[in-house]
Structure 1
Amino acid sequence: MSPLGRRTVLALAGAALAAPALAYPERPLRIVIGGPPGGLNDIVARAMAQPLAALLGQSVVVENRPGAGASIGATFAARAAPDGYTLWMGIVDTQAILPTSMRNLAYDPDRDFAPITFICNAPFAMAVGPSKPAIGSFEALMAAAAVRPEAISFSSWGVASTPHLAMQRIILPRRIEMLHVPFAGAAPALQAVVAGQVDCTVLPAGGVAQMAQVGRVRPLAVLAKQRVALLPEVPTLLELGGELDAGLWLALYAPSATPAPIITRLNAAAHEAMRTPAFVETLRQQGAVPEPSTPEELGALGRRERQAWAQVVRATGAFLD
């Protein structure tokens, strides 16, 4: 599911580019992400950095600050100077889930961040690894997990992360208990399944498709309304009788109080960067497409998503102390 849907924003981007010139930027920029190298936010941030640098005339570096469900990176970015030189690659976890799941969160997504633009939504795929060679379908996985509590283990990139909550939303209605094994990022969570250390996972479809192509995992379902081009033979969970449509969305932010002309300049430049062939291809490899937005649309999306995910967190009891 795309949280924003299709927006006609290219005209807005063109208008922004026609705005009066700014001295900004006069030195390099950085995009902070809350995960380690190899995750979707890292891949997307690095793909955006190169065209963004060309458009702004300054280098753009990606700075990884993982830990505590990505809240360390988010807190660092929120406290940076509001001058347009530190940007934040937010994800649904940091902008919509952690405000409910982490009771002592050190930042507020509305108060501490200025929205720039939505970037994309990447659908999730469920996959099983070599530890369960007999499991070849979603139904077989659910049947195996129903044998006894925690008979099947699954990985995610953290407690109360989107993959953790997505799996909980699948198994709880079936009264199934799985063993949750959190890791410090999407890449190690997927590698644990490949290595047979964990039985299955729900992660962005791009990484699952790459491992499926070389026979390291078997995709069982995609958590989307329609089948994913990267995994055309894999049914959607909706086809299998489920109701969950879930993915990982990413968006670009600046610290609050960043001047409006700088936000306008960054919005326009980001939209141009998102139209470059290399960036579009990077997203295609992740099962996603660019979805530029206005800052106002992104702000409204964040508020809607926080309300929706708060209900899931409370229903699953996935709180972080």
Structure 2
Amino acid sequence: MPQLPRRALLRAAATLPLAAPALAAWPDRPVRIISGFAPGGLNDIVSRAMAQALTPLLGQGVMVENRPGAGGSIGAAAAARATPDGSTLWMGIVDTQAINPFAYKSLPYDPERDFAPISLVAHFPFGLVVGPSRPGITDFPALMAAARAAPGRISYASWGIASTPHLAMERILRAQRGDQGAEMLHVPFTSQAPAMQAVMAGQVDCFALPAGGAESMTRDGRTRAVAVMARAPLEILPGAPPLSTHGIPLSSGLWKAIYAPARTPPEVVARLNGAVREAMTAPAFIEVVRQQGAVPEPTTPEDLAELGRRERQAWGEVVRATGATLG
């Protein structure tokens, strides 16, 4: 076969289209998931399960960074300020993404402007637990009767003013007031774990919290789940009927979702969405979510953005109705 002259080869090469540059390895550094709440609570549990499931998919270590305080606002602000390169994720919840904008007069972040939605994780329904301080209260009607008989004497825990447990209990009490009135004393804590401990120690009377935490509180029989804030009974809290059986059509709980900082490149958002959705198919992740009374609910970024808009409208109305605001 004759050889082409060197000049001919160079001229031919010059006419060929340039090859597309190789895609840079991504991520090129360890990834962190920021959680706005302390270790030991549901946000921490789900964040760590997500980190474990993502690690083999991203080919990098994925760690959880707990930044608790101010109803999750400290962690949210840290995530919003992070470099938008896909190396920082944010485990947002309904409190941080839909309630805080109405509960706080000033926030160090904007839940819509400062985050790029990746995917919903799941909805986690609440269970209502009564602690050992009230051994005679064995069901929901007895709890409401006690609240009417001694207004302000029965106490309930939450992980902060205007948090979902606070607002959920206020919605229950408002539904029960009628002509007789039903009042309870709200005792806010900084996160779920210390609130659970206070109820189990008999320092606070009851707590509406994610069903997985409620189940763990009732294992020794000292605390009792008297209701679930779900449309149907929950397998992990047998014997605790939905509030609808008592005439309260209320289902409430937490939704959790993964976000990246705003201005994260669209191609990185797409890759993250694919990785997070695949992570939610991992048997270990599914089991962690199942133990919390939920199932994984992967979505597109667009569907998560729409959920956020709907939830801000709904919870804004609840905050205004209850007057639960902070400075």
Instruction: Give TM-score, length-normalised by structure 1.
Output: 0.92
Structure 1 residue aligned with 2:148: 146
Matches within 5 A, 1:113-192: 113-173=115-175, 174=177, 175-192=181-198
Structure 1 residue aligned with 2:237: 231
Structure 1 residue aligned with 2:224: 218
Structure 2 residue aligned with 1:14: none
What is the percent sequence identity of the aligned residues?
62
Q: What is the aligned counterpart of 1:196 among 192, 202, 211?
A: 202
Task: Tell me the CA shift for residue 21 of structure 1.
Answer: 5.8
> Judging changes above 3 Å, is the alpha-carbon distance between structure 1 residues 21 and 120 closer, same or farther for their aligned structure 2 residues?
farther
Cα deviation per residue 1:181-228 (whole Å; 9 max; x = unaligned)?
Answer: 011111111111100000001000101111212213100000000111
SS at match of 1:238: helix
SS at match of 1:114: strand
The letter of the residue matching 1:218 is R
Task: Tell me the CA shift for residue 65 of structure 1.
Answer: 0.3
The letter of the residue matching 1:299 is A
CA distance in 2, matches of 1:310, 1:254: 24
Contact 1:127/1:221 (8 A) holds in 2: yes
CA distance in 2, matches of 1:178, 1:234: 21
The letter of the residue matching 1:41 is N
SS at match of 2:222: coil
Contact 1:129/1:193 (8 A) holds in 2: yes
Task: Tell me the CA shift for residue 149 of structure 1.
Answer: 2.4
Contact 1:194/1:217 (8 A) holds in 2: yes
> Judging changes above 3 Å, is the alpha-carbon distance between structure 1 residues 21 and 55 closer, same or farther for their aligned structure 2 residues?
farther
Q: Does 1:311 align with 2:310?
A: no
Structure 2 residue aligned with 1:74: 76
Task: Tell me the CA shift for residue 232 of structure 1.
Answer: 2.4
CA distance in 2, matches of 1:274, 1:114: 19
Task: Tell me the CA shift for residue 151 of structure 1.
Answer: 1.2
The letter of the residue matching 2:30 is P
Contact 1:208/1:217 (8 A) holds in 2: no
Structure 2 residue aligned with 1:10: none
Cα deviation per residue 1:10-43 (whole Å; 9 max; x = unaligned)?
Answer: xxxxxxxxxx965210110000010000111110
Structure 2 residue aligned with 1:9: none
Q: What is the aligned counterpart of 2:288 among 279, 282, 293?
A: 282
Aligned length: 302
Instruction: Give TM-score, length-normalised by structure 2.
Output: 0.91
Q: Structure 1: any 5+ residue segments left out of the alignment?
A: 1-19
Q: Does 1:84 align with 2:86?
A: yes
Cα deviation per residue 1:32-78 (whole Å; 9 max; x = unaligned)?
Answer: 01000011111000001012011000000000000011100001101
Structure 2 residue aligned with 1:36: 38
SS at match of 2:129: strand
Task: Tell me the CA shift for residue 177 of structure 1.
Answer: 1.6
SS at match of 2:149: coil
CA distance in 1, matches of 2:82, 2:30: 15
Structure 1 residue aligned with 2:104: 102
Structure 1 residue aligned with 2:3: none
Structure 2 residue aligned with 1:23: 25
Structure 1 residue aligned with 2:4: none
CA distance in 2, matches of 1:276, 1:109: 29
Task: Tell me the CA shift for residue 148 of structure 1.
Answer: 2.7
Cα deviation per residue 1:140-176 (whole Å; 9 max; x = unaligned)?
Answer: 0001011232110000000000000000000023132
The letter of the residue matching 1:240 is H
Task: Tell me the CA shift for residue 107 of structure 1.
Answer: 0.8
CA distance in 2, matches of 1:270, 1:218: 35
Query: Could you tell which deviates more after superposition, 224-233 or 154-163?
Result: 224-233
CA distance in 2, matches of 1:276, 1:262: 21
Contact 1:156/1:183 (8 A) holds in 2: yes
The letter of the residue matching 1:283 is V
CA distance in 2, matches of 1:47, 1:214: 26
Q: Which portions of structure 1, spanning 4 or more consecutive aligned residues, are displaced by more than 6 angstroms?
A: none
Q: Does 1:244 align with 2:250?
A: yes
